[in-house]
Amino acid sequence: MVLIDEIPTWVHRAILLILYLNRGEISKQKLYGLLYLIYKESKDIDSLEDLNFYLNMKTKEIKITTSDKEIGIDDILYNLSLDGFINDCNDKIYLTDRGYKAAKAIINDPEYKNEVDIIIRVIAQYKDLSEQGLINLILENLKRS
């Protein structure tokens, strides 16, 4: 049994839901792109947890850190892996059985309804884009802002 308390922040929940909605696997860069779009869509979900997104223009890679800059997305993925929710295999991330159960619990928890609705809406809109398509979309958004 998975307790929702084991999933401390919206970023952790979003990662599990992204994986769940992508049939249990995703590349890291696509995950990072979707996290950016979800974050942009829902900045007020958890005002205590700001994320910083960096797009390397040469490599077209996204890097994500938390507001204290000492914890990055790789640390969050590592902790999710240690807790048995995901398998982190270089450039791909896979949802485990425990992660699947956690994602289902999040979806069914009324406390996270708004968060889940935003994540589902963003995933439905952008999940068929390639990594490069997501990067291009993010670049367009950055140019406009």
Q: Is the pTM of this model over 0.75?
A: yes
Say if residues 18 and 26 touch (Cβ distance below 8 Å).
yes
Q: What is the pLDDT of residues 68-115, one digit of tens each?
A: 666 778 888 999 999 999 999 988 999 999 999 999 999 999 998 988
Domain count, the chain: 1
**128-137: long-range contacts, CB 8 A cutoff, minimum separation 24:** 129/33, 130/30, 131/27, 131/29, 131/30, 131/33, 132/60, 134/29, 134/30, 134/33, 134/34, 134/37, 135/29, 135/33, 135/55, 135/60, 135/62, 137/33, 137/37
- For residue 49, the enclosing domain spans 4-144
pLDDT at 5 over 70: no
**How far from 140 is each of 56, 70, 109, CA to CA, in Å?**
14, 28, 35
